[in-house]
Amino acid sequence: MFKIEVNNRIIEAEAGETILSTLKRANIHVPTLCHMEGLLPTGACRLCVVEVEGMNGLIPSCSYPVREGLKIYTNSPRAVRARKTIIELLLANHPDDCLYCVRNKSCQLQDLAEEYGVRERRLSAEKNEYTIDQTSPSIVRDQAKCILCGKCVRVCEEIQNIGAIDFAGRGSKTVISTAFNENLNVSSCINCGQCILVCPTGALREKSYLKEVRDALSDPEKHVVVQHAPSISVTIAEEFGAKSGIDVDGMLVTAFRQIGFDRVFDTSFSADLTIMEEASELVHRITTGGKLPMMTSCSPGWIKYIEQSYPEMTDHLSTCKSPQQMLGAVIKSYYAEKHNIKPENIYSVSVMPCVAKKFEIQRPGMGENNIFDVDAVISTREAARLIKMYGIDFKNLPSGASDTPFGERTTAGKLFGGSGGVMEAALRTAYFMITGKEMESLKVEAVRGQEGIKEAKITIGKLEASVAVVNGIGNAEKLLEQIKGGRDDLAFIEVMTCPGGCIAGGGQPLNTDKDKIKSRLGALYKIDQTENVRVSHKNKDIKRLYDEYLGEPLGEKSHHLLHTHYMKREVLK
Partner 1 sequence: MSKDAIAKIMEKYAGGERDSLIPLLQEIQDVEGYLSRKQVEEIGKLLKLPTGKIYGVATFYNQFRFKPQGRYHVQVCRGTACHVKGSAAVLDAIEKDLNIKSGETDRKGDFSLEVVACIGACGLAPVISVNGEFHAGVIPKDIPRILNGYRDTEVQNEQNR
Q: Is 169 in the site for partner 1 (CB under 8 A)?
A: yes
Indicate the residue among 118 and 179 with the shorter CB distance to partner 1: 179
Q: How far apart are CA 415 and CA 295, in angstroms?
A: 17
Nearest to 109 by CA among 127, 94, 129, 126: 94
Indicate the residue among 163 and 400 with the shorter CB distance to partner 1: 163
Q: Is 572 in the site for partner 1 (CB under 8 A)?
A: yes
Least distance CB 495 / partner 1 (angstroms): 20
Q: Is 191 in the site for partner 1 (CB under 8 A)?
A: no
Spacing of C-alpha 257 from chain mean position: 25
If phi > 0 it is left, if psi is from -120 to 50 it is alpha, else beta; for residue 177 that is: beta
Least distance CB 86 / partner 1 (angstroms): 23
E strand segments, 451-530 = 453-460, 463-471, 490-496
Coil, strand or helix: which one is 103?
coil
**DSSP code for 240:** G
Q: How far apart are CA 450 and CA 463, in angstroms?
A: 28
Least distance CB 484 / partner 1 (angstroms): 14
Q: Is 162 in the site for partner 1 (CB under 8 A)?
A: yes
Q: Is 311 in the site for partner 1 (CB under 8 A)?
A: no
Q: How far apart are CA 186 and CA 534, in angstroms?
A: 42
User: Residues with Cβ < 8 Å from 155, sequence gap 6 or more?
Assistant: 36, 194, 195, 197, 198
Using CA of residue 163, residue 165, residue 166, residue 169, what is the dihedral sign?
A: positive
C-beta of residue 543 within 8 angstroms of C-beta of residue 265: no
Q: In which element (H, E) is residue 348 found?
A: strand 346-352
Indicate the residue among 157 and 513 with the shorter CB distance to partner 1: 157
**Binding segment (CB under 8 A) for partner 1, from list 52-60, 159-167, 358-366, 510-518:** 159-167
Among 10, 16, 126, 170, binds partner 1 (CB under 8 A): 170
Q: Is 168 in the site for partner 1 (CB under 8 A)?
A: yes
**Residue 218 to residues 142, 224, 237, 262, 328, Cα–Cα distance (Å):** 30, 9, 26, 11, 21
Q: How far apart are CA 253 and CA 488, in angstroms?
A: 44
Least distance CB 156 / partner 1 (angstroms): 9
Q: How far apart are CA 147 and CA 111, in angstroms?
A: 14
Mark residues 129-158: x for contact with partner 1 by CB under 8 A, - for none.
Answer: ----------------------------x-
Least distance CB 567 / partner 1 (angstroms): 20
Indicate the residue among 141 and 428 with the shorter CB distance to partner 1: 141
Among 63, 102, 106, 163, binds partner 1 (CB under 8 A): 163
**Binding segment (CB under 8 A) for partner 1, from list 162-170, 231-239, 441-449, 489-497:** 162-170
Q: How many residues bind partner 1 (CB under 8 A)?
A: 19
E strand segments, 445-556 = 453-460, 463-471, 490-496
Mark residues 171-190: x for contact with partner 1 by CB under 8 A, - for none.
Answer: ------xxxxx-----xx--
Least distance CB 573 / partner 1 (angstroms): 6
Indicate the residue among 2 and 167 with the shorter CB distance to partner 1: 167
Indicate the residue among 231 and 308 with the shorter CB distance to partner 1: 308
Nearest to 355 by CA among 416, 299, 317, 407: 299
**Binding segment (CB under 8 A) for partner 1, from list 26-34, 165-173, 317-325, 469-477:** 165-173
Q: Is 268 in the site for partner 1 (CB under 8 A)?
A: no
Q: Is 485 in the site for partner 1 (CB under 8 A)?
A: no
In the complex, the residues that contact partner 1 under the rule CB under 8 A are 157, 162-170, 177-181, 187-188, 572-573
